[in-house]
């Protein structure tokens, strides 16, 4: 394979990774901007620079050096678990307090990165396998909702056309995986999205207006919405969310290290956490959001079989360019929701499969391991379905324990300590 061919293939694989995370990345600014009544101009800035910062945050993780960067094939995006807390801070205080809290949380992550990396012994395979399984399973309802049209309260939800497009996308991915060879097989998800989008055009579901309405160029601006303000309860709330993100990221790190057969040391984890802390600080300074390692791309690596960092460098570069060129970035927004849902379903279920593969190495003749996995997955999924089970508790407890991934993390870690104690695998 010549050099130009290799570059082309890595760029296409990078584009596939970008499309896999794009909807999740833009969902956060859309949800928060809508809730806080942003103008169209403010929303345009928010989405564009958010995508730009996703690229910068990804570069921070990919470039492994003495101070930061985990060096695994990862991609970073907005922390979805931060949406509700940020909306609450923005409404109860103001947007500048929201960004002040993000900066404080980023500094906190930088300061505790060394300490947090030392507790990796609390995350053996029985813990990380349970966590990754829960991460995948908790994402599946999002994919199903998107296949139905996105808004489950809409009268159009579950429209036969939406279901057909989701099925076409999934079927295309299956056929490519079954009959294609080598490179074509590795971009099955991208081909599925393209076929699904072209099929959507037949039903008039591809709207090109976002491309024509978007600006050609948009530069990042420090303190775009004003100087950050600092308020203790808001900062504490975002620190809690930052800890939640670190727990989730730890599971993702170990899942990817398992896929790539890479051993992770405490120093690796510390550099990874530092990168996320830096990304959060930049998010606050440029008035975007906290960033964390995305889990959906694990499924994509599992499907494609490509576990190199090279495609992720292209993804990060594309994200930076798309963030600076809103008109180019808008191209990815024309993909219909049911098509994205079909692709997401394949990838999210593959995340769970990766977790199950990790759990397959566990000694289940040990009743403690059996109970650890059963309870952590059961509680994680239960809280995901009914997060309001903690509605009678103080707000800070709701923010922390109303997340199924967090519940699964703590349950599996604590039960593993009870049954197995602290020991290296």
Residue range 39-83, pLDDT digits in tens: 767 777 788 888 899 999 999 999 888 889 898 888 888 876 677
User: Which tens digit of pLDDT belongs to each residue from 344-386?
Assistant: 888 778 878 878 888 888 888 888 889 999 999 999 899 888 8
Q: Which residues contact 160 (CB under 8 A, 6 or more apart)?
A: none
424: exposed, middle or buried (C-beta count within 10 Å: 0-12, 13-18, 19+)?
A: exposed
Q: What is residue 107's predicted lDDT score, i.e. its pLDDT?
A: 95
Q: What is residue 400's predicted lDDT score, i.e. its pLDDT?
A: 64
Does 125 fall in a domain? Answer: yes
User: Distance from first CA to last CA of the chain, Å, rounded?
Assistant: 40
Q: Scanning the structure block, which residue is given the tokens 């008109």?
A: 327
Does 379 fall in a domain? Answer: yes
Using alpha carbons, select from 18, 13, 14, 9 the residue that is nearest to residue 335: 18
Number of domains in the chain: 1
Does 98 fall in a domain? Answer: yes
Buried b (16+ CB within 10 A) or exposed e, 293-313: bbbbbbbbbbbbebeebbbbb
Does 268 fall in a domain? Answer: yes
Using alpha carbons, select from 341, 299, 335, 295 the residue that is nearest to residue 144: 341
Does 425 fall in a domain? Answer: no
Q: What is residue 1's predicted lDDT score, i.e. its pLDDT?
A: 52
pTM confidence score:
0.72
Q: Which residues contact 346 (CB under 8 A, 6 or more apart)?
A: 170, 173, 189, 192, 299, 303
How many other C-beta atoms are found inside a 10 Å radius of the C-beta of residue 333? 16
Per the structure, the complete domain to which residue 187 belongs is given by 3-420
Q: What is residue 2's predicted lDDT score, i.e. its pLDDT?
A: 60
Helix, strand or coil, per DSSP, at residue 293: strand
Q: Give the Cα separation of 6 and 29 in Å (integer).
A: 35
Give per-10-residue mean pLDDT for the chain (425 aa).
Answer: 71 79 70 74 79 91 89 83 76 87 94 85 81 82 85 82 92 88 75 88 79 76 87 83 81 83 87 93 90 76 76 89 76 78 83 83 85 92 85 72 77 89 66
Q: What is residue 408's predicted lDDT score, i.e. its pLDDT?
A: 85
Using alpha carbons, select from 12, 22, 10, 14 the residue that is nearest to residue 344: 22
Does 144 fall in a domain? Answer: yes
Q: Give the Cα separation of 254 and 260 in Å (integer).
A: 10
Tokens, residue 278 = 């830096």
Does 139 fall in a domain? Answer: yes
Cβ atoms of 376 and 129 closer than 8 Å: no
Q: What is residue 140's predicted lDDT score, i.e. its pLDDT?
A: 85
Does 248 fall in a domain? Answer: yes
Q: What is residue 332's predicted lDDT score, i.e. its pLDDT?
A: 63
Helix, strand or coil, per DSSP, at residue 78: strand
Q: Give the Cα separation of 209 and 331 in Å (integer).
A: 10
Q: What is residue 260's predicted lDDT score, i.e. its pLDDT?
A: 83
Q: What is residue 103's predicted lDDT score, i.e. its pLDDT?
A: 95
Our CA angle for 220, 221, 225, nearest 5°, is: 125
């Amino acid at each position: 394979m010549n050099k130009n061919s290799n570059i082309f293939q890595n760029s296409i694989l990078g584009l596939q990774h970008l499309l896999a995370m794009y909807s999740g990345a833009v969902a956060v600014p859309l949800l928060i901007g809508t809730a806080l009544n942003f103008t169209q101009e403010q929303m345009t800035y928010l989405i564009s620079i958010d995508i730009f910062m996703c690229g910068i945050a990804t570069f921070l993780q990919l470039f492994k050096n003495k101070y930061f960067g985990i060096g695994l094939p990862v991609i970073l995006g907005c922390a979805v678990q931060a949406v509700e807390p940020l909306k609450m801070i923005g409404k109860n205080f103001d947007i500048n307090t929201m960004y002040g809290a993000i900066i404080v949380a980023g500094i906190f992550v930088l300061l505790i990165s060394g300490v947090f990396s030392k507790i990796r012994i609390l995350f053996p395979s029985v813990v990380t396998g349970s966590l990754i399984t829960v991460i995948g399973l908790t994402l599946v309802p999002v994919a199903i909702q998107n296949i139905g049209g996105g808004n489950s309260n809409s009268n159009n939800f579950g429209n036969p056309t939406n279901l057909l497009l989701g099925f076409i996308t999934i079927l295309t991915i299956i056929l490519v995986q079954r009959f294609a060879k080598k490179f074509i097989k590795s971009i099955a998800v991208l081909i599925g999205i393209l076929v699904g989008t072209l099929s959507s055009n037949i039903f008039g579901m591809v709207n090109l207006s976002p491309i024509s309405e978007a600006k050609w160029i948009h530069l990042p601006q420090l303190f775009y919405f004003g100087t950050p303000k600092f308020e203790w309860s808001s900062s504490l709330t975002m620190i809690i969310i930052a800890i939640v993100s670190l727990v989730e990221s730890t599971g993702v790190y170990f899942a990817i290290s398992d896929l790539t057969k890479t051993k992770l040391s405490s120093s690796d984890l510390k550099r990874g956490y530092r990168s996320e802390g830096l990304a959060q600080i930049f998010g606050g300074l440029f008035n975007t959001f906290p960033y964390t390692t995305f889990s959906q791309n694990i499924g994509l690596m599992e499907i494609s079989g490509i576990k190199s960092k090279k495609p992720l460098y292209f993804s990060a570069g594309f994200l930076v360019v798309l963030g600076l060129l809103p008109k180019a970035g808008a191209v990815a927004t024309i993909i219909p929701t049911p098509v994205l849902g079909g692709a997401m379903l394949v990838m999210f279920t593959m995340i769970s499969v990766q977790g199950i593969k990790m759990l397959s190495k566990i000694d289940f003749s040990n009743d403690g391991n059996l109970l650890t996995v059963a309870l952590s997955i059961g509680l994680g999924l239960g809280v995901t379905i009914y997060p309001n089970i903690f509605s009678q508790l103080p707000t800070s407890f709701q923010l922390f324990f109303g997340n199924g991934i967090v519940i699964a993390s703590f349950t599996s870690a604590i039960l593993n300590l009870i049954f197995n104690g602290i020991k290296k695998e």
